[in-house]
Amino acid sequence: MASLDRPKLRPLSAQRFEHQGQVYAAITDPLGVFPEPVLIPIDGYQWVVRHFDGETPLSAIQARVLRETGQLITTAQLEELVDQLDRALVLDGPTFAAYHESYRREQVRPAALAGRSYAGTERALRSQLARYFAHADGSGVPRPEPQTLPSRLRGVLSPHIDFQRGGLVYTWSYKELVEQSDADTFVILGVAHQYCRNRFALTRKDFETPLGRVRTDREYVDRIAALAGQDLFEDELSHRTEHSIEFQVVFLQYLLGGVRDFSIVPILVGSFHDLMDAGTDPIESDDVRRFVEALRASEAANGRKVAYIGGIDLCHVGPEFGDPDPLDPEILAEVRSFDTAMLARAAAHDAAGWFGTAAEIGNRWRVCGLAAAYTMLHAMGPARGTLLKYDQAVDHERTCCVSFASLAFVEGQ
């Protein structure tokens, strides 16, 4: 936490906003800590607030403004602005620190997307998921009876796109998971879509869904944190509104709730883009290697039956993501060809190849599950994958394509 004498902005977004003839910087919070934009006059943002870097004292900012604009901002005015922004949770200051600490003490993570990305009541959600399994393109209704033979299923890759677009593909990985695995502990590696200071973020909180509460194995989580040797709870707020794990928990609770006693180990994985830029295989990075080793050691010490779930999507293509041209059949075929190559690497348990295939083209197709799937491939050990289902969600205007798939991995080469 930065001192208010050297104020520091949290990692937020700012956009130009005009209102009643005035121009503002509209500050928004990707984590949703404050729900409504905070408006700052554009001059105040440009000359003052954007220099809140946690290192520059107020006196130096005051001198810079005077030197560059000829305007004198008094110390009292600066201190009042800093106090207002601290109380608005814009700064990494005392108010945000208290908010973060209060969040850490909470035992349950409420469902963030219920009623938005999927049905918000138990009855409606059960009906929604049942339709996906029973659909002609779904997997068919699973039979999650307890297994009588030791399972060789090590894990699955599943989508994390919203259910309306990807629900049918989810069913293939989850039918395989509950029918072919007798696991009672599911290590879920999701994608951190928002900024994280570290590559990995843990939480000890149970996950609430409209279908009931899913227990997090806190002992397992704490063991990972201790072995990894870094503060893996620093980015815990990223779990608050992130969907990539929540969606997996909903499917688990739908299929196994009341059938099998189970728990989860929720892990968000941040960006490996700097390693891609450096041409480094991520496992050569100390923090990635330590985390993978911590996952393996924690599973070995757990004494329970463990399966891995990677909540990932594949490519994000089209003008909605910054590409210049509308989607056409040629582009979609190119994306499919690229995904086929990526998925073949994953199925072959080739983590370096999975990462390298995207790195070769600078991840131009924006594979958002790149780091999470890479981590899972290393953590679960030797396993052979099978592609169960693949799809592309393309909007009617041909401005957006998201691709995704379900894979299942069986232990052994």
Q: What is the pLDDT along the chain (413 residues), one digit of tens a residue?
A: 667 889 999 999 999 999 888 999 999 998 889 989 999 999 999 999 989 999 999 999 999 999 988 888 899 999 999 999 999 999 999 999 999 999 999 999 999 999 999 999 999 999 999 999 999 999 999 987 655 656 789 999 999 999 999 999 999 999 999 999 999 999 999 999 988 889 999 999 999 999 999 999 999 999 999 999 888 999 999 999 999 999 999 999 999 999 999 999 999 999 999 999 999 999 999 999 999 999 999 999 988 899 999 999 999 999 999 999 899 999 999 999 999 999 999 999 999 999 999 999 999 999 999 999 999 999 999 999 999 999 999 999 999 999 999 999 999 76
For the chain, the C-alpha Rg in angstroms (whole number) is: 23
Residue span(s) of the chain under CATH 3.40.830.10 come to 109-411
Q: Which residues contact 216 (CB under 8 A, 6 or more apart)?
A: 203, 204, 205, 206, 207, 263, 264, 265, 266
398 touches 328 (CB < 8 A) = yes
Q: From edge to edge, which strands make up the β-sheet containing 22-28?
A: 13-19, 22-28, 38-41
Q: pTM of the full predicted structure?
A: 0.92
CATH no. for 109-411: 3.40.830.10
Give kind and range of the element (H or E) at residue 410.
Answer: strand 401-411
Tokens of 240: 């608050």
